Amino acid sequence: MNDAGSSRPVQVSAARRRGVIDALRRGAVPESGLDLLATGLGRFEQALDEELDAVASGEARFKAVRGEYGSGKTFFTRWLGERAKRRNFAVCEIQVSETETPLHRLETVYRRLTERLTTSSFPPSALRPVVDAWFYALEEDALADGATEEELPAAVERLLTARLAEVSRHAPSFATALRGYRAALAEGDEATAAAVLAWLGGQPHVAASARRAAGVRGDLDHFGALGSLQGLLTVLRDSGHPGLLVVLDEVETLQRVRSDARDKALNALRQLIDEVYSGRFPGLYLVITGTPAFYDGQQGVQRLAPLAQRLATDFTTDPRFDSPRAPQIRLPGFTTDSLMSLGITIRDLYAEGSQDPDRVKRVADDAYVADLARAVGGALGGKVGVAPRLFLKKLVGDVLDRVDQFEDFDPREHYRLTVRDTELTETERNLTADDVELDL
């Protein structure tokens, strides 16, 4: 969503179109259907698809995405997530936060991962469906090996032990909890089964009775979380999901935390990257996003030399020669032209589902969309890179909705663009000027 040139398919279902338009109307990045808006991302496709294929074959990959606010980092990672789901990957997006998800507490990161785990078939949290599918696969394999119904429990236990042998060397409690979950289900004890699964997902304060029943102790710690991630990847693979895409979004928030917490978080990130490259997590694609200030500034990556070395990428050349295979890739952000192009793509998508498509395209023609894009950029102090979210919100909610509903509405005559402080996010307010009202 950051360059001209669309590859949007011609046929779009009403549900997909509605989901995208509804999100833009709220000023949000759509959760799905992003291929409909993915203008300018073609240069990344081949390299990223190759990396997804490598992960699906049992390798692990890491990628750092850099871009200023408004350059489309969240859009990019969700677009990548859709490509991963088409390969039947599981996907998880985690917002890094000092209070909710501090990066230096990997047990909390793992908990957020299981809470937000999603697949092409199941919304968050998909942990239970994945675990249930895994046990079903074990049963099918045992039956295929000739086990009778009477022999099935013992055969499944043998397969469980074999599949998790490597994981159990580092995190024996993971396999123990899975056995406890299956035993509780077999006994019809749903409450205990749910509690054990919560423990498996890293939730704290699970009832002591459930932990005793499953044979596990305490809560998952930092090291237990890494072992459990290994186990989860094994379960995902055996239940038909060859990979897991984990996005750590807005890592630049680390710059604003206390120095001791920041140092711990940067070191935890360095540790995660090293574990990925060491081969400990086959099937994991780890992606982080951040601003250039985070990667280049002394309050971010440069504060920890080993981390800076791992992420070092040459950005001194013309951006068109950036290698998508590098450990760090940059999103160039929007220009006025690319914002106009995106607006026209959205207008056409909207028109396909409107009551009178021809009228929508005629009244909100290319010239008007271009005028609106320039006006929103001007209202934000000329900072076009900050404009996409607000521009699309205004285009859909203030203009296209009215054109679609009111036959005599003409945006050139009846609409005045107004950008108020309350409509901006905190980051947008910090990056732009005060309230501005413009006649368009």
Identify the pLDDT of residue 41.
82
Identify the pLDDT of residue 374.
86
Q: Quick one: DSSP state of residue 23?
A: H
Q: CB–CB of 66/297 below 8 Å?
A: no
Dihedrals phi, psi of 91, to nearest 5 degrees:
-135, 145
Identify the pLDDT of residue 398.
93
The sheet with strand 90-95 has its strands ordered as: 90-95, 244-249, 284-290, 61-66, 328-330
**Spacing of C-alpha 154 from chain mean position:** 39
Q: What is the pLDDT along the chain (440 residues), one digit of tens a residue?
A: 444 344 444 567 888 899 999 999 998 888 888 888 877 788 899 999 999 999 999 999 999 999 987 788 888 999 999 999 999 999 999 999 888 899 989 999 999 999 999 999 999 999 999 999 999 999 999 999 898 888 998 998 899 889 888 778 878 899 999 999 999 998 999 999 999 999 999 999 999 999 999 999 888 888 889 999 999 999 999 999 999 999 999 888 888 888 899 999 999 999 999 999 999 999 999 999 999 999 999 999 999 999 999 999 999 999 889 999 999 999 887 788 888 888 999 999 999 999 899 999 999 999 999 999 888 877 666 565 557 888 899 999 999 999 999 999 999 999 988 766 666 666 655 555 444 443 44
Report whether the peptide linkage leading into residue 278 is cis, meaning its omega lies within 30 degrees of zero. Answer: no
Identify the pLDDT of residue 40.
72
The H or E element spanning position 290 is strand 284-290
Q: Which amino acid is at 162?
A: A
Q: Which amino acid is at 259?
A: S
Does residue 263 sit in helix, strand or coil? helix
Dist CA 130 CA 199 (whole Å): 15
Give which of 413, 414, 421 is closest to 437, Cα–Cα: 421
Does residue 82 sit in helix, strand or coil? helix
Give which of 18, 1, 151 is closest to 71, Cα–Cα: 1
Identify the pLDDT of residue 386.
59
Q: Quick one: DSSP state of residue 397?
A: I
Does residue 164 sit in helix, strand or coil? coil
Q: Quick one: DSSP state of residue 165?
A: H
Identify the pLDDT of residue 95.
92
Q: CB–CB of 35/9 below 8 Å?
A: yes
DSSP string for residues in 93-158: EEE-BTTTB-TT-HHHHHHHHHHS-B-SS-PSP-HHHHHHHHHHHHHHHHHHTT--TTTHHHHHHH
Identify the pLDDT of residue 165.
87
Identify the pLDDT of residue 2.
45
299 is written with which tokens?
A: 């309050």
Q: CB–CB of 387/70 below 8 Å?
A: yes
Q: Where are the alpha helices (DSSP H) in 215-365?
A: 222-238, 259-278, 292-296, 305-311, 336-352, 357-363
155 is written with which tokens?
A: 């055969």
Identify the pLDDT of residue 313.
96
Give which of 322, 117, 369 is closest to 228, Cα–Cα: 117
Dist CA 134 CA 119 (whole Å): 14
Measured CA distances, 172 to 160, 175, 340 (Å): 12, 6, 55
